[in-house]
Amino acid sequence: MAGSLIKIDEEIVTSAVASVTLTGIDSTYDVYMVKYNNVTPTTNGHRVDFRVTVAGTPDTTANYDNAYKGLRSDSTFIDGYGTNGTSYILIDQQVATGKSNNGIMYLFNFNNASEYSYLTNENVMFWSGSNNLLGQQGGLVHTVAQSCDGVHFFATSTSNIESGTFTLYGLKK
pTM: 0.91
pLDDT digits (tens, 9 = 90+) for 46-102: 678 999 999 999 999 999 999 999 888 777 888 989 999 999 887 765 555 566 789
> How high is the pLDDT of residue 151?
97
pLDDT band of residue 128 (cuts 50, 70, 90) is low
What is the rounded CA–CA span in Å between residue 73 and residue 8?
35
What is the rounded CA–CA span in Å between residue 97 and residue 44?
6
Domains belonging to the chain, first-starting first, are 5-171 (2.60.120)
Residue 1's contacts (CB-CB under 8 Å, 6 or more residues apart) are 171
pLDDT band of residue 139 (cuts 50, 70, 90) is very high
> How high is the pLDDT of residue 162?
87
pLDDT digits (tens, 9 = 90+) for 4-20: 999 999 999 999 999 99
- For residue 75, report the phi and psi dihedrals to the nearest 5 degrees: -160, -170
CA angle 10, 142, 31 (to 5 degrees): 50
